[in-house]
Amino acid sequence: MKMAKPSERDIDAGSALLSLRNDLSSGYYPWNDGEHRPTYFDPDDRQHLRRLYDALDALLERAPGFAGRVIGGMCYVICWDRNQILDPADDCLALHPDLVRGRQLLALARADLLPRLEREARATLASHIDRSAAAHLAAMRASWGRPASPGEFS
C-alpha cells in the first residue's frame, strides 16, 4: 500500500499530539499558564476542556490530515505484514530480515562495482588487443606471400 509521506510539519504535529496525550493520560494539565497553572487536568472544568479543544484544533489547523499520514502511514504501511518492512519475529521496530539481507547484498555490490568494472574493462581491452594483433599478423603474413613456418608467431 502507498500513502503520502508525512511532512516535517506532520511529524511535529504528531509529536505534539503524543505529548498532549501522554500528559492527559497521566492526569496532568499539559499547558503552561504562568503562575496560575493547575497541576492536574480536570475533565469537568469547562476552561480545561476549552483549552484541550483549542489545542487539538490548532494542531489540525497547523497540519491538516497529519494524523492520517503519521498514524495511518505507520499502521497501514510500515506495520502491515504484507509489506514485509518489519521483522515479524521481533517485538521491537526492526527491519524485516529480507530487507536487512538486501541491504547487505547492495553494499557488497556497491563495494565491488569499480573493481568489477576495472576487471571487465581490462578483459575487454586484452581481448581487443589479441584480436587486433592476430588480424594484423595475418595481414602481414598475407603480404609476405607465404604461410607461417613452424616456430613463427601464429
The domain total for the chain is 1
What tens digit of pLDDT does each residue of 15-52 get? 999 999 999 999 999 988 777 788 899 999 999 999 99
What tens digit of pLDDT does each residue of 82-118 get? 999 999 999 999 999 999 999 999 999 999 999 999 9
- The answer to whether residue 51 sits within a structural domain is yes
pLDDT at 149 over 90: no
**Would you state the torsion angle of the CA atoms of residues 59, 60, 64, 65, taken in this order, to the nearest 10 degrees?**
100
- The answer to whether residue 23 sits within a structural domain is yes
- The answer to whether residue 31 sits within a structural domain is yes
Range of the structural domain that residue 61 is part of: 8-83
* Rounded percentage of the chain residues whose pLDDT exceeds 70: 94
Question: Whose CA is closest to 137, among 154, 125, 149?
Answer: 154
- The answer to whether residue 54 sits within a structural domain is yes
- The answer to whether residue 12 sits within a structural domain is yes
pTM of the model: 0.61
- The answer to whether residue 14 sits within a structural domain is yes
- The answer to whether residue 15 sits within a structural domain is yes
- The answer to whether residue 112 sits within a structural domain is no
19-35: burial string, b at 16+ Cβ within 10 Å, e else = ebeeebeeeebbeeeee
